[in-house]
Structure 1
Amino acid sequence: MTSDTPAGRRFRVFNRRRSAPSRARRRLGAAARMLAALALAGGVYTAFAPGAFAEDTRQLSASAQEGKALFDTSCISCHGRNAEGVVGRGPSLIGVGSASVEFQVGTGRMPMARQEAQAEQKQPAFDKAQTKQLGQYIQELGGGPQLPGGPLTVDLKDNPEALAAGGALFRLNCTSCHGFGGGGGALSSGKFAPGLHDATEEEIYAAMLTGPQNMPVFGDNELTPDEKREIITYIKLQLQQEKDPGGLFNLGRYGPVTEGLAIFIVGITILVFAALWIAGKS
């Protein structure tokens, strides 16, 4: 029956036709088993994965809930629904802490009106209570640096050497950008170090703790909390009270550069007139 005869050929064609549906059924069965296995694996992963698809059940404090409401209406477009950041708009806020939020929002640098080389200080969009609420929400969301409690300056009655120590630390760590007089200065790519004349204690401490813009982060392993307080004491008592260190005139409070330039110009002018007068007399 399997020879190359008309009857054998008909038998082979019949067998192929009969086996075709069985192969199709086997393929469908294999595909169904594969889909079932994938569905089972997906269900197990969804049930036991650590929060991959589960709803966020973290309990926020009342202050953080108020901050979240403010965040959802004013910050979400740039920083994302869960503060994870948006490419080309705003960075992630996970881990920045409440100190960073209180500095950026409290000084009006955030929210930004437009993308610039540097966020400039302006009138804050939120009051102090709302700023604290925003900071508390970001703190509970991802943790990070926080402003310490208690005074941020040193009482000179308890530590009379704190002012001199703060001045030495300021000159060592801060003058390269902010100037000897705290007037600020230009940096690269259109950026600048702001002046410190109107900065509050909280703003200075938060800036050292978080390193906004181009400023480096001065963690507690680089500047201890006591050293930060000494620097703030020096800024508040020396630089913010019109006591220009090492300068006779207030020439922008930029330190020796402007003073040296002024002395050079005035000195050259005096010497020129003196030479003309001597030449005329002779």
Structure 2
Amino acid sequence: MPVWESITSSSPVEILKNIVDVLLVWFVFYKLITIVKGTKAVQLLKGIFVILFANILTRYLGLDTLNWMMEQVLTYGFLVVIIIFQPELRRALEQLGRGRLFARSAMQEEEERDRLIEAFNKSVSYMAKRRIGALISIERETGLSEYIETGIQMNSNVTSELLINIFIPNTPLHDGAVILQKNRIAAAGCYLPLSENPFISKELGTRHRAALGISEVTDAITIIVSEETGAVSITANGDINRNLSMEEFEKQLRKVWFGGEEQVTSTSFWKRGKRNDG
């Protein structure tokens, strides 16, 4: 076989160079995909693949007129692609010029984190001031699919406006929990398991018990806004931090969600609960 003969006749250095060459090509393609992911370029690329497939099919079936049209599209399509993809190409060149093209994934992740934190800050602050009850669970390593299935599927971007609208009283989705999966709102109106811990303070209602319950069986982070008092709380790893100011809320959420310093437990439920229950 020619390919096998070519491999066996090559020196180890040439084989290594070819392997590195192929890996670099795949890496470049991967980075290009991460650049266009989530932009309109994805849909345009699908259209290009359809045209390429149609060109091959018309040539195979002998449809000369249609094949000629496809050839013309492909011939002049290069300029069209440059015009259509101009924003994406400019962004990629800017990243390359700043030496940040290959660090884009980390940069995008940091920007997405900041966007999510801002959305939570705005929505939680709005609901806390107006005493609008809310329950938001964030999936981490342990999957929450079984709880997502109990609610209304959404698969929506996280925005403060959408979170507020979901929990407005007397709306179809306000009763239940919102669950985030892969930084998107997977579902609303979900049912979470209630905590069965006997040491729970009597002053905690169903929302707080549900938030504690999901934190006891998964590693999810849950945000609670009390409908009675407007107090903001966060549960994680079977613990709850209550009556947080907005500054404390953001700091605590960043710690338990994105890592960093250890979770602050000076206002933890277990300490308060045991004191309240004697």
Please, what TM-score do these two structures have when normalized by structure 1?
Answer: 0.24
Please, what TM-score do these two structures have when normalized by structure 2?
Answer: 0.24
